[in-house]
A and B are shown apart, each in its own frame.
Chain A
């Protein structure tokens, strides 16, 4: 088991390395954007670039890049965005918003999704199940930004319950109730999709598990329906669902770009989109690293958690 984990982690680093290299080369091949606004002195900018080593040959830059990253975790300095400020600290400052929004939405969505899924599986083929399944189907198909628009329109503009835009840190401390309240529309928009997906999977898994023979045995032994489900069925259903949840935890960090733009959340996704628009390559590289790392990490975590939950599925181990 440990060997498997170690192997996967090494593989992850290899993949990260290859991807970063590809991105690095492709980006450095592009010309540096010199003049952005009229009052910026072109010659001064060129001199700055020269001093920071952007005009050296690519191999030298590549070596410098890895040296900076591996020794000092220095991802360079923002050129167009947050000019002359170190990249990583800026990103770390933005990270809490993204994490918070995603965390809230997952914390709320997981119990809801589980409850709906269990309910739908119990009432399988009755009208409650049909209603829930139809709603789930609608919610998983409709793109997340459509909910975001609907939520923003109805709850923020028409009913005026919430603020259409998330507060920034100077307006309210990060973990306060006021901040949470301003994040509610964003959390709702993200949450719908998670709830729907989780409901669908839970319902599918649980209904499959309920047909197993051991369930019949449990009922024959004398357990009530609730006992049988909670002690036997849920355990088995969780085998599939829990890795998915863990994967979601991490994976959702990478998917909230649109929500961040719509609700003006000052998070990492926003920086990513901006860095593309203004062609700030240092930020772009750092963001690419972040998102790739997240994608890989969520894959590894969900695979490993399979092994923890179901002892029958220990990967790479002798039987």
Chain B
């Protein structure tokens, strides 16, 4: 075609050519839209993915829960109330749901004991209506909702002099009765409940008693306390039960204390005793476990540990992996092959083996937490390095890199200023997605008992899970909450990571609008 034109117009004289538009300034048209930076673009695309935003909010909730509950809760990991073990979760009162009660059915004996717990103090474990019916085997049974918080009832124990005086003073001050009269059968080793609960006249007063009571003419319990002539027997000078007036002869005062070696033998109401010792009434939002630890607080502490561990591990892995991968990818050649071999071999070591070896060697020196951290860091950077290396190979050959090098840029500048920012998206996504992996591995190791992060002031989610598994059949609430916590965490991180990955992918710009 060119030759055609040349032959048609062989000679174009110079005068025929005229310059046009000389008086006008021709510039590019201004962009109609605002230009958005890289991160603004990422943020906009992220916001569009509703599930990722919701997931992010959930993660924040869990994070805030782990950070703030330790400050506002009066209970922490070292808080152990053995008497209040296996308490049910309680937020509301008397609603039948989440109020610390459970539906139960008892024979006459069991019913008598449980009802008896509430008679003296007014703190009755029976909440709501009692339904009496005859079972298929002919026995009379009672069906009702039992409040687990009042079930521990009473206990007969020995307290020291100072405690004795302090508790009596507390009784006076707060008008909360801790000491109750000692029953005549205090020495019998009953099976079932502790001797402190068998305060009324029993049909069978030996150790095999099933708790059935002998009723008086009104159908009430008959108190079966120790009595003495001296109202201050045993050194007791505190408030007395209503109806404790010395009896008809003025010589049968209830005995509240017996002086023994080392202190006083007394019968205490465990609920009020809890209030005395801790200053607040027992309310456990997620219940307690076998040791009497509050699951709500322990979950927060465990979550704290998990988050701190996971975030530090990911940060360290990110730094090591990025540098390693950058060096590998940038220099290539033999350096690359050697470094690849090393990371390959390290990568094939089973993680459990690494964790165990580190624990066995370092546990005495730096503690279980740091040995676990080292174990994670030893092999965790490998994935990150592989990703960074791949990104480097992709962008190494681009022209602007060549141009920068021609202009004299040093290696370090090329790596960090030119090539690295391209892979920022994958790197950040990879780091974020590694966090749930760390938490999961840590919980798995704790559950298996390989790593024992359970000290008196520290607990982890895996430990809580293993505690809960033992009582799965009878008290599922112990395992429910940690399992829920970790499930929500994992699901949210997955959604969040997916959202991040799509957000950082600039080729999706304009897709899905």
User: Footprint of B on A, CB under 8 Å?
Assistant: 15, 18-19, 22-23, 26-27, 29-30, 137-138, 140-143, 145-146, 149, 152-153, 157, 254, 257-258, 261-262, 272-273, 276-277, 279, 284, 288, 291-292, 295-296
By Cβ-Cβ distance, the 3 closest A-B pairs, closest first, are A141-B490, A141-B491, A291-B350
Question: What mask results when residues 442 to 481 of chain B are scored 1 for a CB within 8 Å of chain A, else 0?
Answer: 0110011110000000000000010001001100100100
In the complex, the answer to whether B486 meets A143 with C-beta atoms within 8 Å is: yes
Contacts of B448 in A (CB 8 A): 257-258, 261, 273
The answer to whether A141 touches B450, judged by C-beta atoms less than 8 angstroms apart, is no
Interface stretch (choices B170-178, B309-317, B354-362): B354-362
Stretch from B121-129, B285-293, B341-349 forming part of the interface with A: B341-349
Evaluate contact between B348 and A292: CB separation under 8 angstroms.
Answer: yes
B319 vs chain A, min Cβ distance (A): 24
Chain A residues in 8 Å Cβ range of B349: 19, 22-23, 292
A145 in contact with B447 given A137-B491, A153-B472, A288-B353 (CB within 8 Å)? yes
Question: In whole Å, how far is A264's beta carbon from the nearest beta carbon of chain B?
Answer: 11
B415 to chain A, nearest CB (A): 29
Q: Are the C-beta atoms of B486 and A276 separated by less than 8 Å?
A: no
The interface size of chain B toward A, counting residues with CB under 8 Å, comes to: 33
Q: What residue in chain A is nearest B349 (Cβ atoms)?
A: A19
From known contacts A149-B469, A273-B448, A279-B360, infer whether A141 and B494 are also in contact, taking CB-CB under 8 Å.
yes
Chain A's closest residue to B450 (CB) is A276
Bound-state CA distance A284–B472 (Å) is 30
Bound CA span A93–B361, Å? 31
Q: Are A145 and B491 in contact (CB under 8 A)?
A: no
Q: Is the CB of B350 within 8 A of A292?
A: yes
Q: A26-B361, A257-B448, A295-B348 are in contact. Are A137 and B353 (CB under 8 A)?
A: no
The answer to the question of B483 belonging to the interface, with a C-beta cut-off of 8 Å to chain A, is yes
Given contacts A27-B357, A146-B486, A292-B350, 6 further A-B contacts (CB under 8 A): A15-B344, A26-B357, A30-B361, A142-B490, A146-B487, A276-B356
Contact of B352 (CB < 8 Å), options: A26, A261, A272, A277: A272
- CB-defined contacts of B483 to chain A, threshold 8 Å: 146, 149
B357 touches A142 (CB 8 A): no
Residues of B within 8 A of A257 (CB): 352, 444, 448
**Residues in A whose Cβ lies below 8 Å from that of B149:** none
Whether B330 sits at the interface, judged by CB under 8 Å, is: no
Distance from A190 Cβ to chain B, minimum over Cβ atoms (Å): 14
- Alpha-carbon gap, A153 to B470, bound state (A): 12
Do A142 and B487 have beta carbons less than 8 Å apart?
yes
Closest Cβ of chain B to A47, distance in Å, is 25
**Inter-chain contact B444/A295, CB cutoff 8 Å:** no
Residue of A nearest to B441 (CB): A143
Given contacts A142-B487, A143-B443, contact A149 B350 (CB under 8 A): no
Q: Does B440 contact A (CB under 8 A)?
A: yes
Chain B residues whose CB sits within 8 angstroms of the CB of A19 once the complex forms:
345, 348-349
